[in-house]
A and B are shown apart, each in its own frame.
Chain A
């Protein structure tokens, strides 16, 4: 297995772990953790392709990864703010119990 394929495989496994966590956990914060893992797996793909690509001097993949990290930080802040707001309304973060659209 070439190094690039090995990195891609690690990213694929990490993405699957994050997806499984986001789809199976009951706690809303753990769902956000799963989404963060998926974003990180995508970042690993971007950086691996940048390193093994034909023109790393153009910095394209690296820039994608840096902007992706910034957007993921914004997403985490808003997502956790929403979880805290929902918790204040319903006194729970269990997604199986949060089943009403009405506040």
Chain B
């Protein structure tokens, strides 16, 4: 069993979007490329029969996180010096670390590729199953995530709130 043509197209969209998101000069273009990468990933989730995760990816990442990133870019936009590089002074070290990490990951995948499971029957999981699991076996993690989201909501508002004059 080999990989299908849609997989190649979707992974190309994802990887090119991710690459553009971290290399482009204009930050708004970066946010747009990031959205393309998120959309490609959502499509890959749908390819893997993970409908709920795919649509959650679209709703949360494309609908919320990408919009949040665009808001942050527009709020912090100032006269960016066109002459300076977009990359940090220590970019060679960062690139070397990333290349080393990828080498290790790729080596590990290639070493175990022959022992990975080939093809199991396609999982038939409905949203009803996921809801039942969330309400029975995973009820405690669900409550903790609800608490975490509430704390993050309040924390983000407090951190980004205008400070009073004179306390700065």
Contacts and interface: CB of A to CB of B under 8 A. Distances in A.
Interface of A: 1-10, 12-27, 29-30, 32-34, 36-37, 40, 43-44, 47-48, 50-54, 56-57, 59, 62-63, 65-67, 69-78, 80-85, 87-89, 91-93, 95-96, 103
A6 B99 CA distance: 19
B159 A93 contact: no
B82 interface: no
A5 B109 contact: yes
Chief secondary structure at chain A's binding surface: helix
B37 A40 contact: yes
Nearest to B31: A33
Contacts, number: 248
Interface residues of B, number: 88
Contact of A76 (B53, B65, B145): B65
B118 A2 contact: yes
A37 B91 CA distance: 18
Interface in B1-52: 1-3, 7, 11, 14-15, 18-19, 21-23, 27, 30-31, 34, 37-38, 41, 44-45, 48-50, 52
Nearest to A76: B65
A20 B109 contact: no
A4 B54 CA distance: 18
A36 to B, nearest CB: 7
**6 tightest CB-CB pairs across the interface, nearest first?**
A21-B22, A23-B94, A56-B123, A74-B152, A16-B102, A20-B98
